[in-house]
Amino acid sequence: MCDDDIHVGLIHDPSVSRRTFGLMTAAVAGLGSAAHAQTGVTETDVTVQTADGAADAALFYPSGKGTWPAVLIWTDIAGLRPAFRDMGRRLASQGYVVLVPNPFYRSVHGVVATPGFDFAKPEDRARVMGYRQAMSNDGIDRDAEAYIAFLDAQPQTNRRKKVGVQGYCMGGPLTYRTAARVPGRVGAAATFHGGGLVMKDHADPTSPHNLIPKIKASVYTAVADNDDKAQPDAKDVLKAAFATAKVPGKVEVYDGCAHGWCVKGSAVYNEAGAERAWSELSALYKKALS
């Protein structure tokens, strides 16, 4: 979930200086190129045409010749920012073509978590929640198709390999939706402190867990300790849904790790827990996308 009572300390990424923010905004606006190679990874700002408009995004892939499996990353409620660019670079360095879109392109382009952003502030919270509300389920499904099609169109993508998708906080349900929307392409899906994977009304057809029968991927779901305490039955509902649908799904609660623990810049960032989650992600992709 992404409420202020559980999502404590989601602040701006401290690595975003005002100068860096200005450069990133200029690049997104087309005033400069963000393409560069760093530590064996090529990174470039791109525009993805969706059915609903032009989405700004960051693309990463290993430098040099070759093709690699593709991965889509859905961000948390604070959107595309340096913390998620770091994830894109790290994943690309492991041998993947990675797309990290701005999920809020319908409402705003560029960095959402500008210096001073704090999810606990009513005005900041209302702003980003408004961006999220502009994303209908049908719109998310269309976005998922467009992002995977964009990845498949890249010369660096090995289209013989399945695609991976991962999401954080609000990106958890988006990950389930993507895997269900494009089951023929998505071979692995992972969520970390995903919000609202199981609605209180389990029978609600819009509850993300009810999409599990449509998923053909291997799925890893990492649950925050405080999310589990707030909704202790959710993990069991998820496990039962995976078992009933015969979808390979692993659900784990990370004791001592609060909602947001995987993302640098959060006051609850837990490095040990984040590294454990990354190891699980790497193992999942190595097995399902190779």
Instruction: Quote the pLDDT of residue 117.
Output: 82
The string of DSSP codes covering the chain is: ---TTTSTTBB--TT--HHHHHHHHHHHTTSS---EEETTEEEEEEEEEETTEEEEEEEEEESSS--B-EEEEE--TT-S-HHHHHHHHHHHHTT-EEEEE-TTTTT--S-SS-TT-BTTSHHHHHHHHHHHHT--HHHHHHHHHHHHHHHHTSTTB-TTSPEEEEEETTHHHHHHHHHHHSTTTEEEEEEES-S-SS-SSTT-TTSGGGGGGG--SEEEEEEEHHHHHHSTTHHHHHHHHHHHHT--EEEEEETT--TTTTSTTBTT--HHHHHHHHHHHHHHHHHH--
**Measured between alpha carbons, how far is residue 56 from residues 30, 140, 193 in Å?**
10, 15, 25
| In contact, 61 and 68? CB cutoff 8 Å | yes
SS3 category, 261: coil
pLDDT at 201: 94
CA distance 216 to 138: 20
CA 209 to chain centre: 17
Per-residue tens of pLDDT for the chain, all 290 residues: 344 333 433 443 434 333 333 333 333 333 333 444 457 999 999 999 999 999 999 999 999 999 999 999 999 999 999 999 999 999 999 999 999 999 999 999 988 887 888 878 888 888 889 889 989 999 999 999 999 999 999 999 999 999 999 999 999 999 999 999 999 999 999 999 999 999 999 999 999 999 999 999 999 999 999 999 999 999 999 999 999 999 999 999 999 999 999 999 888 999 999 999 999 999 999 999 98
Q: Exposed, middle or buried: residue 103 (CB in 10 Å: 0-12, 13-18, 19+)? A: buried
Q: Can you state the angle between helices 171-181 and 137-152, rounded to 10 degrees?
A: 70
Closest by CA to 100, choosing from 38, 44, 21, 153, is 44
Three-state SS for 73? strand
User: pLDDT at position 10, please?
Assistant: 47
From residue 39, alpha-carbon distances to 61, 93, 183 in Å are 11, 8, 33
Quote the CA–CA distance of 260 and 253 in Å, as a whole number: 13
What pairing do the DSSP bridges indicate for beta strands 53-62 and 97-101?
Answer: antiparallel
Cα 104-109-112 angle, rounded to 5 deg = 70
- The CA distance from 234 to 241, in Å, is 11
For residue 20, the one-letter residue type is T
Domain ranges of the chain: 18-288
Residues listed for the chain: 290
Report d(CA 137, CA 27) in Å as an integer.
29
User: In CATH, which of 3.30.420.240, 3.40.50.1820, 3.40.50.300, 3.20.20.70 is domain 18-288?
Assistant: 3.40.50.1820
